[in-house]
Amino acid sequence: MPNYKVTIGLEIHAELKTNTKMFCRCKNDPDEERPNWNICPVCTAQPGTLPVINKKAVKHVLRVGTAIGATLADFTEWDRKNYFYPDIPKGYQISQYLYPLISGGKLAGVDVTRIHLEEDTGSSRHDRGDYSLVDYNRAGVPLMELVTEPVIHDTETAMRFAKELQLLLRYLGASDANMEKGEMRVEANISISETETFGTKVEVKNINSFKAVGDAIAFEIKRHAEVLGRGEKIVQETRGWDENAGKTFSQRKKESANDYRYFPEPDLPKMRISEIPEFQNLNETMPELPWERRLRLSKEFGFQDAITEMFVTDDAIGGFFSDVALKLSGDKDLIKLASNYITSDLAALMKANNGSMGAVTPETFTVLVRMVGAGDVSSRGAKDTLAIMYREGGLARNVAEQHGLIQKSDIGALESIVKDVIAANAEAVAEYKGGKTASLQYIVGQGMKASKGSANPKVLGELFQKLIG
Ligand code: ADP
Ligand code: ZN
Ligand code: MG
């Protein structure tokens, strides 16, 4: 098989988080299950109605652009994208064509072409046999579309880009960007070529998970190579991803911009971004961005990448860690200890309980970490204490005490145990005195047993050495 150069460009839509829809005052509620509940004369295209721009949606897009170092448009306008489909009440979609809000920028190493704002369509159901149903709750929901340059050359980069965008949208509060719920939709354009000239591209839609992004692209690359290998040509078209079959299938021959008869929307004002107060100085209200947090965590604490990634991508765990780190301010060793318990033990408890934080709070957890640091509880004891705190709540010290998990370091209390063990294990003691260091381990083990696991093994060992002489 010849060595093909793979080229991929992504088009990603995301429903924006706003109280109301893009051009009317209907509620924007992706969780509304009653069909046609959040609709009005505007978003169902009744004659005589006029759209009004939702500034919050525009601001979301401008913030995304700011975050990725893009150019924000000064002049922007809206266009009608004309096509007929039952889920698009006006017979056109209000979108942006020549003057997108955002141009350029880079995310996860990939060049972004543009980001524009448009309205979502309604949704159709075809599961009733001989008729279809349309629900307009989603019609008019603000939707941003991001287009990348054709600069991606492998499935991993494509997946990484989509994940990073999801993360960014969540950090900015711009979208929940849940792919399974259709809040974020990825379309992948794929071509392969033996030369530097691009091959014919195919666009794949209906991808609704990150895994499917990778699977669909990999499938297309293979299919293209097979088609070319047979001496045939790739047809430029739109294909759908069939998740169950693990295949793409032909949907329609690609339409071109001409088919949409774009023209400026006469019912909306053109905008000058620089003249709108809410859109100024967006840089000043940026939260810490995912890549900034990544860098800070690895610099500040030197975590392994996997741990950093967990704190950056998992909102609950990352937030919990931040709170704990703040309380342990500056104590790097304890913070490291805390990060281990959070990413292993706490994360496992959460995973087993639908992501619930249980009854542990950053306050009680921090006390537990300090207790481990001080040797008041062993690492085994801390795991048990944490599990109990998770289920039942309570203060770390109380929980550990009630369950006999406090590690005894108090010399006085341990001395009598040590004396008893020495008396009962004369042989091992003699061996140790004779130079067999391994015997000390055995003796300490007997001491731990006698203390029912509550002794601090380090303190116990020191005490034995002292008393054996
Ligand atoms: P169209 O006019 O068909 O919509 P665009 O040039 O607007 O095509 O590009 C749409 C998407 O397809 C972009 O993400 C772009 O990066 C990608 N793309 C363009 N050409 C190719 C190609 N030859 N192979 C893969 N992706 C491509
Ligand atoms: Zn409406
Ligand atoms: Mg295009």
Q: Which two tokens stand for residue 328?
A: 């342990």
pTM of this prediction?
A: 0.88
The CA-based angle 115-118-123, given to 5 degrees, is 125
Is residue 162 scored above 90 in pLDDT? yes
Distance 187 CA to ligand 3 centre (A): 12
Q: What pLDDT shows up at residue 341?
A: 96
Arithmetic mean of pLDDT, 423-436:
90
Cβ–Cβ under 8 Å, residues 190 and 7:
yes
Nearest to 345 by CA among 315, 368, 374: 368
Is residue 159 scored above 90 in pLDDT? yes
Distance 136 CA to ligand 2 centre (A): 9
Cβ–Cβ under 8 Å, residues 104 and 129:
no
Place of tokens 């999801």: 166
Considering every ligand atom shown, identify the ligand nearest to the alpha carbon of residue 187 and give its number. Answer: 1
Distance 324 CA to ligand 1 centre (A): 46
CA of 189, closest atom in ligand 1: 26
Q: Which two tokens stand for residue 12?
A: 């990603």
Q: What pLDDT shows up at residue 90?
A: 97
Nearest CA residue ID for atom 13, ligand 1:
9
Per-residue pLDDT reduced to its tens digit, 328-351: 988 999 999 999 999 999 999 999
Question: How far is it, in rounded angstroms, from Cα 152 to Cα 190?
Answer: 9
Is residue 429 scored above 80 in pLDDT? yes
Instruction: Return the best residue to mutate from 11, 189, 252 for the ligand 1 pocket (most ligand atoms within 8 A of CB).
Output: 189
Distance 124 CA to ligand 1 centre (A): 27
Nearest to 145 by CA among 298, 14, 299: 14
Question: How far is it, in rounded angstroms, from Cα 469 to Cα 461?
Answer: 12
Arithmetic mean of pLDDT, 199-216:
96
Choose from 89-103, 254-268, 434-448 the range with maximum mean pLDDT: 89-103
Environment class of residue 126 by beta-carbon count within 10 Å: exposed (0-12), middle (13-18) or buried (19+)? exposed
2: pLDDT confidence band, cut at 50, 70 and 90? confident
Q: Which two tokens stand for residue 4?
A: 């093909």
Long-range contacts of 313-316 (CB under 8 A, 24+ apart): 313/163, 313/167, 314/347, 315/170, 316/350, 316/355, 316/357
Q: List the domain boundaries for the chain.
A: 5-281, 288-402, 411-468
Cβ–Cβ under 8 Å, residues 206 and 213:
no
Arithmetic mean of pLDDT, 201-222:
96
> Hey, how many other C-beta atoms are within 10 angstroms of the C-beta on 264?
13
Is residue 48 scored above 70 in pLDDT? yes
Is residue 265 scored above 90 in pLDDT? yes
Is residue 1 scored above 70 in pLDDT? no
Arithmetic mean of pLDDT, 414-431:
89
Place of tokens 């509880």: 377
Residues in contact with ligand 1 by the CB-under-6-Å rule are 7-11, 147-150, 189-191, 198, 201
Per-residue pLDDT reduced to its tens digit, 362-406: 999 999 999 999 888 888 889 999 999 999 999 999 999 898 888
Considering every ligand atom shown, identify the ligand nearest to the alpha carbon of residue 113 and give its number. Answer: 1
Question: How far is it, in rounded angstroms, from Cα 123 to Cα 129?
Answer: 17
Arithmetic mean of pLDDT, 100-128:
96
Instruction: Give the CATH number of domain 411-468; options: 3.30.1360.120, 1.10.1580.10, 1.10.10.410, 1.10.287.610.
Output: 1.10.10.410
